[in-house]
Amino acid sequence: GESVGLHLPTLSVQEGDNSIINCAYSNSASDYFIWYKQESGKGPQFIIDIRSNMDKRQGQRVTVLLNKTVKHLSLQIAATQPGDSAVYFCAENGIGNQFYFGTGTSLTVIP
Amino acid sequence: DTGVSQDPRHKITKRGQNVTFRCDPISEHNRLYWYRQTLGQGPEFLTYFQNEAQLEKSRLLSDRFSAERPKGSFSTLEIQRTEQGDSAMYLCASSPTGEYGYTFGSGTRLTVV
* pLDDT tens digits for range A46-70: 999 999 999 999 999 999 999 999 9
Q: Quote the mean pLDDT of chain B.
A: 93
Residues 6+ apart with CB under 8 A from A84: A19, A37, A77, A107, A109
Query: What residues in chain A have per-residue pLDDT under 70?
Result: 1-8
CB pairs under 8 A between A and B: 60
More confident of the two residues B82 and B39: B82
Taking the CA of residue A2 and the nearest CA in chain B, the distance in Å comes to 11
Residues 6+ apart with CB under 8 A from B40: A103, A104
pLDDT average, residue stretch B68-73: 92
> In chain B, pLDDT over 70 holds for what percent of residues?
99
Residue B39 one-letter amino acid = L
CA atoms within 13 A on the CB side of A80: 22
DSSP class of A41: T
Distance of alpha carbon B78 from alpha carbon B90, whole angstroms: 11
Q: What's the pLDDT score for residue B60?
A: 82
B103 near A CB under 8 A: yes
Nearest to A103 among B41, B55, B93 (CB): B41
pLDDT digits (tens, 9 = 90+) for B11-42: 999 999 999 999 999 998 999 999 999 988 99
Q: What's the pLDDT score for residue A5?
A: 52
Distance of alpha carbon A100 from alpha carbon A98, whole angstroms: 7
More confident of the two residues B1 and B27: B27
In chain A, residues 34-93 whose CB comes closer than 8 Å to chain B = 34, 36, 41-46, 49, 89, 91, 93
Q: What's the pLDDT score for residue B99?
A: 75
